[in-house]
Structure 1
Amino acid sequence: MDLESVNPELAEIDGQVGDILRALQNGFQKLDKIKDANRRSRQLEELTDKMRDCKRLIKDFERVVKDIAGSTDPDTARMLHDRKQSMIKELNSYVALKKQHASENKRVDLFDGPSVEDGFGEENVMLASNMTNQQLMDQGNQLMDETDQAIARSKQTVQETINVGTETAAALKSQTEQMSRIVNELDSIHFSIKKASQMVKEIGRQVATDRCIMALLFLIVAGVIAIIVVKIVNPQNKNVPNIPGLAPPVSRRLLSIVEDI
């Protein structure tokens, strides 16, 4: 029975599941030919993603089957059930293959020598099942030594990082103190400039006052000199006031009277 005639959505989901299952089949066939552990891991990850998509589609298939259960006859319902079980069975077979390859990858990661990409041939790759107890012990000891060396390098890196952090913190502290001193000096300079500006203003005011006084004294002295000059030149001028301490000139008539006496 054609699924298109039963439900178009079911037919579409069935086609998508079929495409994914064929892709899984081809992917696992290619996986058997891949020798590099890193490439095998990437291939397994891609196949795992496809299996997740297939599982989701099978759940969608089951959901649609439940939605149309009331409108389908027993034969159609049985056919849909068998189709779902077939998809689940095939997907489970690929899940088992994935687990098998994943376990093989773990053994290869644990007991492999360098990979082909590192410049060594595949003859250096040895599975644990083909190794003697002594080889296993030697390989394990070598891995432990490499792990200890890696841990020692990590500790050294951490210590160097701590030292750099300590030096950086000390440098930052010194720079902070220096900046604080600079700020204090700038405040002191600003205060000195402000004080000097005030003093300049005071001196300017004092100089202006002194100039006014000197100008006034000059005017007084000039006035006194002018009066004296006028009195000497024209002693009969009544408009010119007498200056205290300066006696008026003695007339000739007064002098002749004094002589007669």
Structure 2
Amino acid sequence: MASDLPMGPQLEQIHGEIRDNFRALANGFQKLDKIKDSNRQSKQLEELTGRMRECKRLVKEFDRELKDEEGRNPPEVNKQLNDEKQSMIKELNSYVALRKTYMTTLGNKRVELFDMGAGVSEPTADDNVQVASAMSNQELINAGTTTMNETDQAIERTKKVVENTIEVGTTTAVTLKGQTEQMGRIVNELDTINFSIKKASQLVKEIGRQVATDKCIMLFLFLIVCGVVAIIIVKIVNPGNKNVRDIPGLAPPAPSRRLLWAAEHFD
């Protein structure tokens, strides 16, 4: 029996706590079979998962204490204690596998895998959970080779992603540079257009002022023409009106008429 094993006080206490947690796990899974509600089953599985984490921590402590006492115990005692440790690891792994079965039944595909630590327990993604300390050298080499191959493939995928990212970044930089140059040309064209608009506005103002001046001159000339026409009409209607002066070029000067009249009488 495990309780009859020769252990130190600390090791015996840890061993007792592990066994208490195993009994709680066994009772918990028995209750889980009687629960019909999926939400309550999930909650119960969460509590059992916490128990398994605690067992994992205690098994690690048991392994450390066992290594500390290994030099003080006879070889047969160390063998019995190591066998007990392996037995506890296998029992814990059986609960881990049982939990996985229940999680699959509940439709949860994300199964939590426990990392039990080097030399204690190392659950994998396979259905048959193995412990690193229980694996042979060839199995460890194969597992390590598989992990290295998977890591190399992941690194290659990461390299490709980085290369694609750099390529996209370079293309984006070239595009941004072209757009920046295009924006610069647009700004220069806008400045030219603005200058042209200002010059056109000044030219329109000058034309407006010139047109206004021309209108004033035309109006003044129109008034002069009207005045001349009015004088001509008055002269024609009333030639004896002395208040209207002769327009230069329209009638001969008065002295010339008097001289002509005097010459006629003299003859």
TM range (shorter): 0.5 to 0.7
In 1, are the aligned partners of 2:122 and 2:131 still within 8 Å (CA)? yes
> What is the Cα deviation at residue 112 of structure 1?
4.9
Q: Which runs of 4+ in 1 moved over 4 A?
A: 25-29, 42-48, 93-101, 107-113, 248-257
- Cα root mean square deviation, aligned: 4.2
Displacement, 1:107? Answer: 4.3
Aligned residue number for residue 191 of structure 1: 195
Q: Please tell me whether residue 154 in structure 1 is matched to residue 172 in structure 2.
A: no
Answer whether contact 1:27 1:47 (CA < 8 A) is retained: no
For 2:235 and 2:131, the matched residues in 1 are separated by: 141
How far 1:145 moved relative to its partner? Answer: 0.8
- Equivalent position of 1:209 in the other structure: 213
Do 1:44 and 1:98's aligned partners in 2 also have CA atoms closer than 8 Å?
no
**Contact 2:121–2:133 (CA under 8 A) maintained in structure 1:** no
Q: Give the counterpart letter for 1:105 in structure 2.
A: M
What is the deviation of 1:196? 1.0
- TM-score scaled by structure 1? 0.55
1:225 partnered with 2:229: yes
Change (3 A) 1:138 1:206: same
Distance 2:157 2:193 in 1: 53
Report the secondary structure of 2:116's partner residue: helix
Which string of whole-angstrom CA distances, capped at 9 and with x for unpartnered residues, describes residues 75-116 of structure 1?
A: xxxxxxxxxxxxxxxxxx996446468x9623499965424x
User: Percent of counterpart pairs with the same letter?
Assistant: 53
Amino acid at match of 1:183: V
Per the alignment, residue 140 of structure 2 pairs with 136
174, 181, 192: which is aligned to 1:177? 181
2:116 alignment partner in structure 1: 105
CA distance in 2, matches of 1:27, 1:164: 55
Which one has the bigger helix percentage?
Answer: 1
Q: Which residue of 2 aligns with 1:259?
A: 264
- Rate the CA distance shift 1:162–1:43 in 2: closer, same or farther, 3 A: farther
Unaligned runs of 5+ in 2: 1-16, 30-44, 63-88, 90-113
Q: TM-score, normalised by structure 2?
A: 0.54
Q: Contact 2:124–2:130 (CA<8 Å) still a contact in 1? A: yes
Aligned counterparts of 1:251 and 1:107: Cα–Cα separation in 2: 148
Task: List alignment gaps of at least 5 residues for structure 1.
Answer: 1-21, 49-92, 116-121
- Note if contact 1:128-1:136 (Cα within 8 Å) is conserved in structure 2: yes
Q: Which residue number corresponds to residue 238 of structure 1?
A: 242
- Within the alignment, does 1:167 sit opposite 2:171 as a pair? yes
Of 244-253 and 189-198, more deviation after overlay is shown by 244-253
